[in-house]
């Protein structure tokens, strides 16, 4: 999925906040800047919290490999081995802040 015209402002940012409902163990996220085939700017495992009914939306702070400024397109890929179906909920599966 892609988010266009994400404004990181003039002050260097070194993280993204991703709000996601993680449905399965071993889920991870990959983030690329300005092109889906560009190098990774961030990647992170998104753990399922024990004791929480699924799916519960949670904020995950994803550390960037380098600080960003300005306006960019962000490309996000969720990775999960052996999980073949992502459901888009009525309020979306992810928010990026």
How do residues 81-92 score in pLDDT, each as one tens digit?
555 554 444 444
Least confident of 34-38, 68-72, 91-95: 91-95
What domains appear along the chain, each with residue ranges and CATH number? 2-81 (2.60.120.260)
The pLDDT of residue 81 is 53
The pLDDT of residue 53 is 55
Of 23 and 60, the structure prediction assigns the larger pLDDT to 60
- Quick check: 14 pLDDT over 50? yes
Least confident of 2-6, 23-27, 31-35, 89-93: 89-93
Of 80 and 78, the structure prediction assigns the larger pLDDT to 78
Q: Which two tokens stand for residue 35?
A: 């092109």
In the sheet that 13-21 helps form, which strands lie side by side, from edge to edge?
57-68, 13-21, 94-96
Q: C-alpha 33: how far from its chain's center? A: 12
**3 pairs with which residues across the strands?**
74
């Amino acid at each position: 999925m892609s988010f266009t015209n994400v404004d990181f402002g003039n002050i260097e940012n070194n993280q993204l906040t991703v709000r996601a409902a993680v449905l399965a163990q071993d889920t991870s996220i990959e983030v690329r800047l300005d092109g889906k085939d560009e190098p990774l700017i961030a990647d992170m495992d998104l753990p399922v919290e024990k004791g929480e009914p699924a799916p519960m939306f949670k904020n995950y702070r994803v550390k960037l490999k380098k600080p960003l400024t300005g306006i960019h397109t962000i490309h996000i890929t969720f990775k999960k081995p052996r999980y073949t179906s992502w459901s888009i909920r009525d309020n979306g599966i992810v928010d990026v802040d």
